[in-house]
Amino acid sequence: MTDPVRLFAEALDMPTGMAKHEALERAARAADASGDKHLPAACRLALIESCYYLNRYDLILAPIAWCHTAEQRDPSVFSDSDMRSLNWAHKWVPVGLRRDPRFTLAQIESVLDALESRYKRFGFSLQPVWGQRALTAAHVGDFELADEHFARFIATERDDMSDCAGCVVEEQVEHLVMRGRYEEALRHAEPALAGRFTCSTQPQGVLTALLPALTALGEIERARDAHLVAYRQSREQASQGYVGLHLEFCAVTGNVPRGMELLRRHLDQVHHATSPIGTMNFAASAALLLSRLDSDRIELAVPLPGGEISRMTAGHLREYLTSRALELAAEFDKRNATTRQSSRIQSILDAPDVVHVPLAVPNPAPEPAPVTADPVELAYQAHLAYEENDFLTGYRLLKSLPADLDPLLPSKLAVQLAARRLVVFPGADVLDSLPLAVQRLVEVGDLDQAARFHARLGMLRAEAGDLDGGIATVEQALESAEAHSASAGRILVRLILCELLDHRHEHMRATSLLDEALELARETASERVTSVILEQADHEARQGNLDDADKIMDQVLTTPGLRPGDRFHALRARMAIAEVRGDVELALQTSAELVEFVRNYPGPWRPDVLLHRASMLDNLDRAGSHLRELVDTVAVCRTEGSPLETAHACYVLSSGYLAHGRLVEAAEALEEALRLLPSDAEEEATLRIRYRLGSVCAELGEHAEGRRHFQAMLDLVADAPSASQAMVWAGLGSTNHALESYEEAERCHRRSAELWEEAELPVEACRAWIKTAAAIADDSPQVALEALERASAHIEDGELAARLTAEMLELRGYTYTQLGEHADSLADNMRAAEIVRDLGEPDWEIFLMVRAARNHIAMQAPGKAETWAKDSVELISEDTPPSIIARVLDVLTRALEAQSKPVSQDATVRSLTARLRS
């Protein structure tokens, strides 16, 4: 026979899900057959709790009915705590019935009446009853009755059967927002948001409920923060119904790209929402978002029941969701005999845009508008722009050409533009494709362009790593240009060859080629003179003659009527020279000029220029003071840059947010960076992003997420220097400690400490050994003392010696307490307190004095404990945290009680109590 106790225990240990729920049902059946008096009731209460975590309140009916029968037959099967759980669970029954149109209004009213009778019988507050009645009245559209019940809901005091304070506020805010009372909703929420929450659905519930009020009132920054914080904390709680409200927020505040990222993450809710009302609400919200897309052809992968995936276009999914939402609304309205749900769902589907709310990661910048003209004329203009060395204009014109235009063009122009596209928009096979394009130019008789593009091929070969092969190719191109090209072609090929020869350190020949090019330009192509002079500046810079190069750049930049391409070349070169020379301010000034200049010239250079400046600011620790620029850089990279460039821009943007302490936005930017990072990106980039993201998640209290990032880094740093490995192990140890995985935390911190020792960094090694001890001080105090001994060995003379000694002594004192060695503990606490006093940290000193007082109590010296406690009070200031004051009050109370002194009459106790109450 199966052991029901074992079945129940195994089911309880399973993660939340239907598998656990079914295991609990099997355990309940086995318990019924066992004859055990209390086990069947425990199984039913566990089933009820499982329904709550699954958000499947409809499943509560069977175990609740069983509990009713058992309660009438023999109430003693429930302990006091079990009975409290049962009373609490009764609030969920009307929720489940209201969310499913298969249950009638009469049934809902019946369970509400039963809930009211039960709470009256037990003497509980009726606040939850009025809350449920208000929700039911609003659901059917009886707003007058809803307001009446809501007034009672607010006026009735809470008690042990009321939802947590945060959830009560969420319900109240939802009602006020529904009624359009936005200012009231915001005022109502303020005190709750300023406090602490202990519920798993708060504060995200309150913040989500506030979103319509915040946008309606134009509270842009607060709306941004509410969305970011609430979604981060609720993204794993899709069944709670918050996701749809965030999709609506993104749809109407100009954040459709962000909304689509969220929708893709939660497409399982299309067919797997936990109630009909959840399905209806999600469908309406998602349909609204999809209606804002520019294209209905985006493909989405929708999980189906049974585990399969349906690939649907956005347009088809929107149609399905719209139809499904309205169908379910009609079912609810039929049940309710009103039109409330249909009108509510239609209002979501028709929701207008509201105020734009910029988020942490900006939307892509607007796409540069294509140039509109007769396509053939446009093709001529594009070719002419490149011929005149105006690549900034040429790029935009070339990109504006229709892809299928070539058959309509004169054969020579079509071949010229085909070759140009290969160079301007190079693919992975450009080294194979470009020779064929050169051959086609020869075949149509354009030997001039054939020579130029042959030289470009040499440049591309050199950039691919074959410098000698590249130079040989350009040498061939020069021979052809000398025979067939006009001055412009002969100059261009010489400039390309000059650059490559410089890279092979053949500077004398490069100089000779430049002299020839300048003579040609002056004699036959004056418009090319500036381009040759700029190449001379580059030539000097490549030889290390930075002063000469700088003078040439200054001369060029003051030239009247300087062409855009030449200005771009000059500014970028001057910036590079300033960076090499270490002239930070000039580099920043020039980069700012360059950024401003390229704003008017869309192209791949724009994200490159902006990202270069952003990286420069980041490296100089100035990201925080240029946050607006960093936001713009991400927006431009998302439109015109590569995924790798955008990922880098998001990483730099996170630096700006961190400089202002805006952790949530930093995490958002880093998550976007990680999402965009190509799979073949360098490990260094992955490590940099993951390490910062793991650290930020830990600071936000998202320790499981932080641990995931640090864990993912271990293989990547396996061959890295010891210090780099140590940092990752330290992060993993800290997140495990926060998640109360103490054995794993100890293992990670120990490994970190050993790696810091290998790196010969004593301060870091000392702190790592202290953290190692902290992880196991409760369970393995003797091993912890050994770790602290190793920590002590790394404390060297220096400015941190006192602090490290105090940290070590504090923890060692605690560890001695765990071993019952109170005299040794007292000695360490007293020594640490003396050191901390010199460090000028009163809160820490108070903490240590309280520890010393506890030692005295344990050593049967309550009088000395009282003295230590009262002495510590003198250090309390206006800034002392309440938690420390509470510790002082606790130890003082215990010391007085141990001496049989009247606690309530002690002046210090009264003073501390009053301070805490205030």
Task: Classify the C-alpha dihedral 261-264-268-269 as positive or negative.
Answer: positive
Contact assessment for residue 887 and residue 857, using Cβ atoms and an 8 Å cutoff: no
pLDDT of residue 4: 86
Question: What is the C-alpha to C-alpha distance for residues 357 and 228, in angstroms, rounded to an integer?
Answer: 11
β-strand partners of 302: 310
Q: Specify whether domain 363-409+544-680 bears CATH 1.25.40.10.
A: yes
Fold agreement between 363-409+544-680 and 688-864: yes
Distance separating alpha carbons of residues 518 and 537, to the nearest angstrom: 13
Q: For residue 267, is pLDDT > 60?
A: yes
Query: Which of 103-112, 290-299, 401-410, 664-673 shows the lowest mean pLDDT across its residues?
Result: 401-410
Is a pLDDT exceeding 70 seen at residue 426? yes
Domain boundaries 688-864, corresponding CATH code: 1.25.40.10
**What percent of the chain has a predicted confidence (pLDDT) above 90?**
75
Based on its alpha-carbon atoms, the radius of gyration of the chain, rounded to whole angstroms, reads 36
In Å, the largest CA–CA distance within the chain is 112
CA angle 237/238/242 to nearest 5° reads: 95
Contact criterion met (CB below 8 Å) for 184 and 151: no
Contacts for 437-440: CB closer than 8 Å, 24+ residues apart:
440/415
- Classify burial at 329, counting beta carbons within 10 Å of its beta carbon; exposed 0-12, middle 13-18, buried 19 or more: buried
Q: State yes or no: pLDDT of 544 exceeds 60.
A: yes
Helix (H, G, I), strand (E, B) or coil at 313: strand
What is the rounded distance in angstroms from the CA atom of residue 41 to the CA atom of residue 536? 89
Instruction: Name the pLDDT band for 168 (thresholds 50, 70, 90).
Output: confident
| pLDDT of 1 strictly over 60 | no
Residue 197's pLDDT is what?
67
Q: Nearest to residue 691, comparing CAs of 658, 718, 727?
A: 727
CB 275 within 8 A of CB 283: no
Selected residue with higher pLDDT from 665 and 372:
665
Which residues make beta-bridge pairs with 313?
Answer: 299
Span 660-685, average pLDDT: 93
Report, as an integer, the average pLDDT of 44-68: 88
Q: How far apart are CA 294 and CA 284, in angstroms?
A: 19
pLDDT digit string, tens, across residues 144-159: 999 999 999 989 998 8
SS (H, E, C) 735-770: HHHHCCCHHHHHHHHHHHHHHHHHCCCHHHHHHHHH
**Residue 601 CA to its chain's centroid (Å):** 32
Structure tokens at 585: 């301010």
Whether residue 240 is predicted with pLDDT greater than 80 in this model: the reply is: no
Number of helical (H) and strand (E) elements in the chain, helices listed first: 47, 2
562 secondary structure, DSSP code: -
Minimal CA–CA distance to 854: which of 902, 899, 907, 890?
890
Number of Cβ within 10 Å of residue 154's Cβ equals 17
Q: What is the mean pLDDT of the chain?
A: 92
- Which of left, alpha, beta for 740 (phi over 0: left; psi -120 to 50: alpha)? left
- Count Cβ atoms below 10 Å from residue 839 Cβ, excluding itself: 12
More confident of the two residues 175 and 754: 754
| Residue 264, CA distances (Å) to 251, 290, 356, 671 in order | 14, 11, 22, 15
Among residues 706, 710, 715, 701, which one has the least CA distance to residue 729?
A: 710
Mean pLDDT of 779-787: 95
Three-state secondary-structure class, residue 310? strand
Q: Residue 422 in contact with residue 437, Cβ under 8 Å?
A: yes
Which of these, 411, 501, 413, 401, lies nearest to 459 by C-alpha position? 501
**pLDDT, mean of residues 244-252:** 96
Residues 850 and 891: beta-carbon distance below 8 Å: yes
DSSP state of 76: G
Decide: 238 and 263 in contact? Cβ < 8 Å: no
Q: Determine the average pLDDT of the residues in 901-918.
A: 89
List C-alpha distances in Å: 93 to 6, 108, 240. Answer: 29, 9, 16
Helices 842-858, 822-839: crossing angle, 10 deg rounding: 160
Confidence of residue 406 (pLDDT cuts 50, 70, 90): confident
Predicted pLDDT at 198 = 65
Question: Which of the residue ranges 164-178, 491-505, 573-587, 696-710 would you say has the lowest mean pLDDT?
Answer: 164-178
Work out the number of other CB atoms within 10 angstroms of the CB of residue 165: 17
Residue among 434, 425, 376 at smallest CA distance from 401: 376
**pLDDT higher than threshold 70 for residue 195:** no
**What is the DSSP annotation of 524-539?**
H-GGGHHHHHHHHHHH
Q: What one-letter code names the amino acid at 26? A: R
Q: Which of 346, 280, 284, 289 is nearest to 314 (CA)?
A: 289
Mean pLDDT of 539-548: 93
Distant-in-sequence, close-in-space partners of 512: CB < 8 Å, separation ≥ 6:
none
- Strands 309-313 and 299-303, sheet pairing: antiparallel
Taking each helix axis as running N to C, give the angle between helix 722-738 and helix 742-758, from 0 to 180 degrees, rounded to the nearest 10.
160
Q: Is the pLDDT of residue 309 over 80?
A: yes
Query: Minimal CA–CA distance to 342: which of 332, 351, 350?
Result: 332
Q: 0.75 cut: is pTM over it?
A: yes
The mean per-residue pLDDT over the stretch 835-864 comes to 93
493-538 per-position pLDDT tens digit: 999 999 999 999 999 999 999 999 999 999 999 989 999 999 999 9
Give me the residue spans of the domains in the chain.
Answer: 255-350, 363-409+544-680, 688-864
Angle CA 539–543–546, to nearest 5: 85
| Residue 561 pLDDT level (bands cut at 50, 70, 90) | confident
Report how far residue 895's alpha carbon sits from residue 892's, in angstroms, rounded to the nearest whole number.
Answer: 5
Query: 141 near 154, Cβ under 8 Å?
Result: no
Tokens of 231: 């979604």
Distance CA 454, CA 787 (A): 68
Q: Which residue has the higher pLDDT, 735 or 203?
A: 735
Residue 97 has pLDDT above 70, yes or no: yes
Cis peptide before 203, with omega less than 30 degrees from 0?
yes
State how far the Cα of 272 lies from the Cα of 400, in Å rounded to an integer: 44
Residue type, 99: R
Helix (H), strand (E) at residue 142: none
Average pLDDT over every residue of 784-799: 93
CB 47, CB 24: distance < 8 Å: yes
Coil, strand, or helix at residue 458? helix
**CB-based contacts of 551, cutoff 8 Å, min separation 6:** none
Bin 455: left if φ > 0, else alpha if -120 < ψ < 50, else beta: alpha
**pLDDT of 200 above 70:** no
Identify the sign of the CA torsion 855, 860, 866, 871.
negative
DSSP characters over 628-651: HHHHHHHHHHHHHS-HHHHHHHHH
Residue 199 — pLDDT band, cuts 50, 70, 90? low
User: How many Cβ atoms are within 10 Å of 416's Cβ, its own excluded?
Assistant: 26
